[in-house]
Amino acid sequence: MMRITIRDIQKMKAAGELIPMLTAYDATSAYLGEQAGVPMLLVGDSMGMVIQGHQSTIPVTLEQIIYHSQIVVRATEKALIIGDMPFMSYKVNSDQAMQNAARLMQESEVGAIKLEGGEFIAPTIERMVQAGIPVMAHIGLTPQSVNQFGGFRVQGKDKDTAKQIICDAQAVQDAGAFGVVLELVPAQLAQEITDKLKIPTIGIGAGPHCSGQVQVFHDLLGLFPSFGPRHSKQYADAGKVMQDALVQYVNEVKAAQFPTVDNSSQMSQDIIDEIHRLWR
C-alpha cells in the first residue's frame, strides 16, 4: 500500500479539506491513529513530557526519536510519518542538521521531518529540501525554546511578535517547507497566515482557521486525568477507564478472583501423577 505523501497533504489544503494530525510514539498509538483515519502522524518530541515524564521536550535525544519513529513506521501502512528533530540536533550549524536529518530518515524511514524555527532556520530548511528531505516547519510557540520564552505562552499577541511570526511563515514556505505547525498563536493571526500561505498550516492552540490541527495523543484521550492543556480537547476519559480497570485487576488478584478456570489451561491427570512421582 502506498503511503500518503507530502503532495497528498498539500492537495488537501488546495481542495479545502481539513487535515487532522496526531502524535504517535509506539505501536499502539500509531495503530489507533491510523485506523481512525489520521493521514499524518508525528513522532513528536512531546514524548519527553508524555512518555518520559520530563517537564519539557528538551531532554529528548535524536536516538530516542529514531527508536520511536522506527516503531511508528513499522506499525503503520498508510499514514505519512513525520519524525521530530529534537533540541539542538539541527541548530549548531546546517551540516549538523543535514547529518542528523539524514540519520532520522535513513534509520527510521520516516517520510518527513519536523523542526522548530522560522526565518533563522530557513537556510537549513532550503538545504534539506534540496537534498530530498521533506520538512515541516514549526513556528509560534516553539517548545524547545520554552526557557527563552519563560513558559508555554501564547506568541504573537503584539504587533512586533505578530510581524515576526508572519515573516517566519513566509520564510519557511519560501525555503520549501511542505507545511508549517502554528503553535499557540492568536486565531486571527493563524487565519491571516493560512490565507496568505500556499502550504498547509497545522494548528495547535491556533484557532479553527488553520488548514489542519495537531493534537498530542495523551491530551486528546485524557490519559493524564489531572492535566489537560487549554488548547486541547479531551475526546475521551481513557485515563480514568484504564485506572478503574487496573484497580479492579489489583482487587481481583488480591481477592483470588483472577485468574479463573477460564483464564487457565489444564493438563491430564496421568501427567499430574507422573509429576507427583518426580517430587518423591
Q: How far is the CB of 252 from ligand KIV (least distance, A)?
A: 36
Which residue out of 183, 192, 252, 274 is catalytically annotated?
183
- Let me know: does 47 contact 28? Beta carbons within 8 Å: no
Smallest distance from the beta carbon of 255 to ligand KIV, in angstroms? 41
Residue whose C-alpha cell is 524547545: 144
Give the span between the Cα atoms of 163 and 172, in whole angstroms. Answer: 14
Q: Which is nearer to ligand KIV, 208 or 259 (CB)?
A: 208
Between 23 and 64, name the residue whose CB sits nearer to ligand KIV.
Answer: 23
Q: Which is nearer to ligand KIV, 60 or 133 (CB)?
A: 60
Rounded to whole angstroms, the Cα distance separating 57 from 67 reads: 16
Alpha carbon distance 194, 55 (integer Å) = 31
Cell numbers that stand for 234 in this block: 479531551
Task: State the nearest-atom distance from the C-beta of 215 to ligand KIV, in Å.
Answer: 8
User: Residue 139: enclosing H or E segment and its boundaries?
Assistant: strand 135-140
Instruction: Please identify, using beta-carbon distances, which residue of 128 and 141 lies nearer to ligand KIV.
Output: 141
**Residue among 34, 41, 32 nearest 68 (CA):** 41
Q: Give the footprint of ligand KIV on this chain (CB under 6 A).
A: 23, 42, 44-46, 84, 138, 181, 183, 204, 214, 216
Distance CA 217, CA 13 (A): 23
Please say if 183 is a catalytic residue. yes
Residue nearest to ligand KIV (CB): 44
Distance of closest approach, residue 240 Cβ to ligand KIV, in angstroms: 23
Residue 141 to residue 11: CA distance in whole angstroms = 26
**Known catalytic residues?**
183
